[in-house]
Structure 1
Amino acid sequence: MSTVQIENRDRWLSGLPPKAGPQRPWHQRMWRSPKFWLALVLIPFYAYCLWDQYQLLHPDTTFPDGTVALGLNHDSLRFGAFWAMWTAIAYFLLFLWLDRFRPQRPLIWLLAFGWGACASTWMSIYVNTWAGQMMATTDANADMGTRAAIFIAPFVEEATKATVLFLLVVLFRRRLVSRLSLVSLAGLSAIGFAFVENIIYYARSVVYATNTVGIEDPFGEVMELVMLRGVYTSFGHPLFGIMTAFGLAVGLSARSKIVRVTAPLAGFVVAAGGHMLFNGVVSTNPTEALRTQWYMALGLVAVITLFLVLGVVAQAQLVRRRLGDYRRVGWLTDRDLVVFSGPFKRMKLHLAGIFRGPKKWLATARFMRLITELAYLREGRTRGLVAEAGDSRAHEIIHELEELRPRALTDTAGLKILPERKRRSRTDLPPPQAPGPSGIGGNWPAPR
């Protein structure tokens, strides 16, 4: 093996990109990208999952006792999609904001969201239906419909939502170096699941309310469900998905092999247990009795939110501390430590770059990504998670940062988001277009 092959193998074992070589054409880089093949496989699979769910829920269902359950028509699905969309957008933007220090590619965000919305709901609907049939009894039992929701659905749904996390960790281990990244991807998968689930619930409510004679205000009945699922209890799926992500993040950053195995399992068990408790409270108590449990849930959400905010602060301190190692040897400046470890300063650089054109913004975003990778690379090196191949990768990043620095925005001192327009002086003004006498500045010579 050549020296380059040995070094690339060491990098691969440490989860680092191979040594930079000659720039290949875009089509060759596309064929060699794991993200392209992942999208090529998953996107048709997502389309099939949605189509199969539609074929399952659209027609009417006739039960053995002769009763008929109306299917979901197009109008009810459009209504459900419209009202479920706003909750999904709000949480989508929230989790994108959390993934700020080492953000994933937009394709990874969309694939994680699509997994929860398509694959996870497709697998869950079949498994939950089968489990409900297995747990059904022939006696009249008011609790028969809640058994699968309490004892089966939490484990199935949390497992299917978290599957995409393990898939991405296997394929893109070097990109998932921050706990916030795992939390963001888990949250995107969870809100994708909640988005499609809300569409189904809202559509069923519309069909039932519009075909039941005793309901005086069908729209009001549906909107009560929209407020309950889309606002009051909308934190449920993201909250449980975050618990699984915490366990996986602890396992990835641990040196002990036992912790690497038990931490993700513990996170999943806590998520499934919380989901089971949540479903049990909602299924076995009337709406009026949920107020106390709702306040308790909001307290838990407040604690998780505080933990996430502290996580952002901790990541900022980590970036500043590790970039300080390179500052002491003269490779970075003091302002680099201050600017690129501040969440709001990084946001200001992004906004200022957008208003200064795509080239300036791309250079700024690239500079920000590289300097953040440098910080996490140093963290992995000091913790023993990255071998000596990380040193050569650090030198590559330093050289690329120096090449990008003249073309990127690297400091927020005196920087305004909107660029100022240059005022032209009187000497810069073009001469008047109308003829004038000689000596006054006319474009045409004065008549003789």
Structure 2
Amino acid sequence: MPSPAVALPERRARRLSGVPRAIQPGQSRRRRMARNPLTWLTAAFFPFCVFLLWQVYLSYRKTISQSIGNYTEQHGGTRSMPTVYQFNEALWRCTKLALVTLLIGVVVFLLLDRLRPTTWVLKAVALFWGGAVAVYFAANANDWVASRLTVDDSDPMGSVRAAIYVAPFVEEAAKASVLFLLAILVRYRIVSVMQSVALAGFSAVGFAVTEDIVYYIRTYLYGSMVYGQDANQALHEIYVSRGLQTWWGHPLFTTFTAIGMAVAIRARSKLVRVLAPVAGFLFAACAHMAFNGSQLAGGSESLIFIIGGALMLMLLFRYVVYIRAEARQIRARLDDFVMTGWLLPRDPVVYSGFFRRAKLLIAATLRGPRVLIATVCMMRHMTELAYLRASVTRGVMDDAALLRGRELLDDIALLRPRALYETEGLPVKPENWTWQNIRGWFGRRWRALPRPRRRSFAPPTGDSVPAGEPLRWGE
């Protein structure tokens, strides 16, 4: 164990490079998490998001109810406002529709974040940030700016000007702020473009779902409270338009900021680190502005859907190029450790191929949880080691990365006897998986199941007359 005089400079070097602290001998995982300030920040973050969602609920319940009351009073002569029960019923119905959009977005960005996936905690933080913090900030900022751009209450163009010229900048800044926050706190965990894109996508999907719920509630309650309108038909139309056809809008725009931030993290030049995120943010805001302007100008939804689909396909092709480039980088950087004798010659080939990694995971799953956990840890350590070496070669990290590299190599050596690390000649199905063994295994489990016990009755008595039988004459 290093002395305090030696450990202090090492700890400072790790902190400046963003490298995790060294694990103290005999220190449990629970104790390490308890001493980590990020654990307590994360624990306080989710209740804070719930509080902000409650504030958003109260704010929109008041504004939507008042706007419906004003509309019914002007057009019908009688002021009609939804009750709290009606608003909550509409909220529950609209939330179930918005969950479809949430499921689509989460699945898409989970599939993109496969090479070196971020932790589930970071994904949850990004999702809740977009659904709670970004929505709360954007709603208050948009309302304040719209009030400054409106001449009076009768000016109908104030909200239009705010939606085109203000909302794109405010909303993109609110959604992308979590990327910059995570880059400051845990920049060691965000090392590739796909990680930045995935986190930006989770934040944007959370923002889009909460925003869709607000639009759904407003449309449904207007249709319910105003005479002569079909609320279900209006809700179905806006759900198809926003939840299915144009759900990609917010994730697409935030992706541009994520790409700029990823370029800045991996760059050595200070000028690139400053200009790349700014350029990505401005491009995202301009694309968002064009999207809002086309919708408010009465653009065809089919045309918007076609343009958005084409952009998504172009970005998907670009992401495939990114993934292939990342795979080549992993192989090249692991080759450095092969030349020094720290890794096996086949390790760069195995851990840089997507199909080989998938084969290892499937084969490890069929061999039990112990093998699966060791294989997953081995795969993560190999990928982290490759990106760590890439940061050193680019000059982004200093000697603190070498200390972390030694720790990863030691962990790989300990995991190798239990994990699967070679795909050549590896059968996906274990060799002992034969029909006889499977049938015998199920037979043993079946015989081990508890059986109901047969009831035992008392032995018969010595009387010749059964119980309850009437006596005969003369007995």
Q: TM-score, normalised by structure 1?
A: 0.88
CA distance in 2, matches of 1:102, 1:34: 24
Q: How many residues align?
A: 425
Structure 2 partner of 1:110? 124
Q: What SS does the corresponding residue of 2:346 show, helix, strand or coil?
A: helix
C-alpha spacing 1:69/1:412, structure 2 compared with 1 (3 Å): farther
C-alpha spacing 1:218/1:357, structure 2 compared with 1 (3 Å): same
Deviation at 1:418, TM superposition (A): 5.1
Deviation at 1:422, TM superposition (A): 4.4
CA distance in 2, matches of 1:153, 1:209: 26
57, 61, 65: which one pairs with 1:58? Answer: 61
339, 346, 365: which one pairs with 1:354? Answer: 365
* Mapped contact 2:267–2:396 kept (Cα < 8 A): no
CA distance in 2, matches of 1:40, 1:343: 34
230, 237, 240: which one pairs with 2:250? Answer: 237
241, 263, 273: which one pairs with 2:276? Answer: 263
CA distance in 1, matches of 2:42, 2:365: 28
* Mapped contact 1:113–1:191 kept (Cα < 8 A): yes
Residue by residue, what CA displacement relative to the aligned partner does 1:109-137 show, whole Å, maximum 9, x if unpaired?
Answer: 10110000011111111111222222223
**Match status 1:421 vs 2:433:** yes
Deviation at 1:140, TM superposition (A): 5.0
10, 17, 22: which one pairs with 2:20? Answer: 17
C-alpha spacing 1:409/1:149, structure 2 compared with 1 (3 Å): same
Deviation at 1:331, TM superposition (A): 2.2
C-alpha spacing 1:200/1:352, structure 2 compared with 1 (3 Å): farther
**Could you tell me which amino acid in structure 1 is paired with residue 66 of structure 2?**
T
Structure 1 partner of 2:261? 248
**Could you tell me which amino acid in structure 1 is paired with residue 178 of structure 2?**
V
Q: What SS does the corresponding residue of 1:100 show, helix, strand or coil?
A: coil
Deviation at 1:146, TM superposition (A): 1.4
Structure 1 partner of 2:469? none
C-alpha spacing 1:359/1:291, structure 2 compared with 1 (3 Å): same
Deviates more, 1:149-158 or 1:23-32: 23-32
Structure 2 partner of 1:159? 173
334, 341, 355: which one pairs with 1:330? Answer: 341
C-alpha spacing 1:357/1:207, structure 2 compared with 1 (3 Å): farther
Q: CA RMSD in A?
A: 2.4
CA distance in 1, matches of 2:279, 2:35: 36
Deviation at 1:159, TM superposition (A): 0.7
Deviation at 1:46, TM superposition (A): 0.2
360, 364, 381: which one pairs with 2:392? Answer: 381
Structure 2 partner of 1:281? 294
CA distance in 2, matches of 1:85, 1:290: 22
Unaligned runs of 5+ in 2: 444-475
* Mapped contact 1:183–1:245 kept (Cα < 8 A): yes
Structure 1 partner of 2:140? 126
Question: Identity of counterpart residues, as a percentage?
Answer: 38
Deviates more, 1:296-305 or 1:112-121: 296-305
Residue by residue, what CA displacement relative to the aligned partner does 1:76-125 show, whole Å, maximum 9, x if unpaired?
Answer: 11121111111211211221222222222111110110000011111111
Q: Which structure's CA Rg is the greater one?
A: 2
Deviation at 1:235, TM superposition (A): 0.9
Residue by residue, what CA displacement relative to the aligned partner does 1:133-160 show, whole Å, maximum 9, x if unpaired?
Answer: 2222338555333111111111111111
What does residue range 82-231 of structure 1 map to in structure 2 within 5 Å? 82-138=96-152, 141-215=155-229, 217-231=230-244
**Match status 1:40 vs 2:43:** yes
Deviation at 1:231, TM superposition (A): 1.7
Deviates more, 1:400-409 or 1:60-69: 60-69
